[in-house]
A = this chain, B = another copy of it.
Amino acid sequence: MVKLVVAYGQPADPDAFDRHYAETHRPLAQKIPNVRRFEAGRVLGTADGSAAPYYYIAELWFDDAEELQASMQSPEGQAAGEDVGTFATGGATLMIAEA
């Protein structure tokens, strides 16, 4: 399997981020086809107490890289991707990783 790791930087307004994620983005992400597992949550800290490089991490698992690409290019994938730009005021790093 592979996963899409979406790592969000610290947003300007964390409350607004949380609200948008729960009310708008999570429902959009959950409409993406062929997602085998979805997980999302806040970064609580680092092991050594240093500042965490990210505020929030979401992961979407797919059977393979081809299915991930096709799903992200679907209308639902495009809608979720475009929505990221509307609330991720701290940026978002999207990585594809083996799972």
Q: How many residues of A contact B (CB 8 A)?
A: 26
Contacting residues, chain B, for A97 (C-beta < 8 A)? 41-44, 57
Could you say how many copies of this chain the assembly holds?
2
Q: Are A4 and B94 in contact (CB under 8 A)?
A: no
CB distance from A58 to the nearest CB of B (A): 10
Q: Which residues of B contact A93 (CB under 8 A)?
A: 46, 53
Interface of A is mostly: strand
Q: Which chain B residues border A54 with CB–CB below 8 Å? A: 95
A17 to chain B, nearest CB (A): 14
**Cα of A47 to Cα of B26 in the assembled complex, Å:** 19
Most chain B CB inside 10 Å of its own CB: which residue of A39, A47, A57, A65: A47
